[in-house]
Structure 1
Amino acid sequence: MRYNVCVVGGTGFIGSHLVARLVSMGYAVRLPTRRADAAKALGVLPGVELVECDVHDPRALERVIAGSDAVINLVGILHSDRGMPYGRAFARAHVELPRKIAQACSDRGIARLIHMSALGADSNGPSMYQRSKGDGEVAIRETGIPVTIFRPSVVFGPGDHFLNTFAKLQRRLPVVPLACATARFQPVYVIDVAEVFARAIDNDATLGKTYELGGPEVYTLEALVRFAGAACGCERPILPLPERTARLQAILFEVMPGEPIITRDNLDSMRVDNVMSGPLAPELGLIPNGLEVAVDYLDGDSEARRLSDYRRYAGR
Structure 2
Amino acid sequence: MDGLVTIVGGAGFVGRYVVQTLAATGVRLRVVSRNPEAAMYLRPLGGLGQIQLTRGDVRSADQMERAFEGATAGVNLVGILAETGRQKFQSVQVAGAANAARAAAAAGVSAYVQMSAIGADAGSPAGYARTKAGGEAAVREALPHATILRPSIIFGREDQFINRFAALANTLPVIPVIAGKTRFQPVYVLDVAKAVAAALADPAAHGGRTYALGGPEAMSFRAILQWIAIEIRSTKPLVEVPDGIAALMAKAGSILPFAPMTWDQWQMLQRDTVVEPGEPSLRELGIEPTPLDSIAPAYLERYRKGGRFYRDPLVA
TM-score, L = length of structure 2: 0.88
Shift of 1:233: 2.3
Shift of 1:289: 0.6
The secondary structure found in structure 2 opposite 1:247 is helix
Aligned equivalent of 2:231: 231
Aligned equivalent of 1:191: 190
2:287 equivalent to 1:286: yes
Shift of 1:164: 0.4
Aligned equivalent of 1:78: 81
Corresponding residue to 2:53 among 50, 54, 65: 50
> Partner letter of residue 4 of structure 2?
N
Q: Deviations over 1:210-246 (max 9, x none)?
A: 1111011111101111111222223421111111100
2:295 equivalent to 1:296: no
Q: Deviations over 1:224-270 (max 9, x none)?
A: 11111222223421111111100122234444435x43111111112
The secondary structure found in structure 1 opposite 2:29 is strand
Aligned equivalent of 1:310: none
Distance (Å, rounded) in 2 between the aligned partners of 1:281 and 1:229? 28
CA contact (8 A) 2:180 2:221 kept: yes
Aligned equivalent of 1:313: none
2:118 equivalent to 1:116: no
Aligned equivalent of 2:272: 273
Unaligned regions of 5+ residues in structure 2, if any? 304-316
Shift of 1:61: 1.0
Aligned equivalent of 1:173: 172
CA contact (8 A) 1:58 1:104 kept: yes
Shift of 1:282: 4.4
Distance (Å, rounded) in 1 between the aligned partners of 2:205 and 2:290? 23
Aligned equivalent of 1:242: 242
Distance (Å, rounded) in 2 between the aligned partners of 1:276 and 1:235? 32
CA contact (8 A) 1:10 1:18 kept: yes
CA contact (8 A) 2:283 2:289 kept: no
CA contact (8 A) 2:72 2:108 kept: no
Q: Deviations over 1:27-82 (max 9, x none)?
A: 21111112222112113332211112333221221111111111000011111279
The secondary structure found in structure 2 opposite 1:136 is helix
Aligned equivalent of 1:90: 89
Distance (Å, rounded) in 1 between the aligned partners of 2:275 and 2:220? 14
Relative to structure 1, the CA distance from residue 26 to residue 277 in structure 2 (aligned partners, 3 Å threshold; closer, same or farther) is same
CA contact (8 A) 1:72 1:115 kept: yes
Aligned equivalent of 2:4: 4
Aligned equivalent of 1:314: none
Shift of 1:128: 1.1
Shift of 1:300: 3.5
CA contact (8 A) 1:182 1:222 kept: yes
Task: Quote the RMSD (CA, aligned, Å).
Answer: 2.0
Shift of 1:145: 3.6
Q: Deviations over 1:117-143 (max 9, x none)?
A: 100101001311111111111111222
Shift of 1:144: 4.6
TM-score, L = length of structure 1: 0.88
> Partner letter of residue 72 of structure 1?
V
2:213 equivalent to 1:210: no
The secondary structure found in structure 2 opposite 1:169 is helix
The secondary structure found in structure 2 opposite 1:299 is helix
Distance (Å, rounded) in 1 between the aligned partners of 2:227 and 2:151? 20
Aligned equivalent of 1:59: 62
Aligned equivalent of 2:307: none
Unaligned regions of 5+ residues in structure 1, if any? 302-316
Distance (Å, rounded) in 1 between the aligned partners of 2:169 and 2:150? 30
Distance (Å, rounded) in 2 between the aligned partners of 1:214 and 1:299? 24
Relative CO higher for 1 or 2, CA cutoff 8 Å, sep ≥ 6?
Answer: 1
Shift of 1:166: 0.8
Shift of 1:95: 0.4
Distance (Å, rounded) in 1 between the aligned partners of 2:212 and 2:201? 19
CA contact (8 A) 1:32 1:53 kept: yes
Shift of 1:88: 7.2
Aligned equivalent of 1:312: none
CA contact (8 A) 1:117 1:133 kept: yes
Structure 1 runs, 4 residues or longer, greater than 4 Å off: none
> Partner letter of residue 62 of structure 2?
R
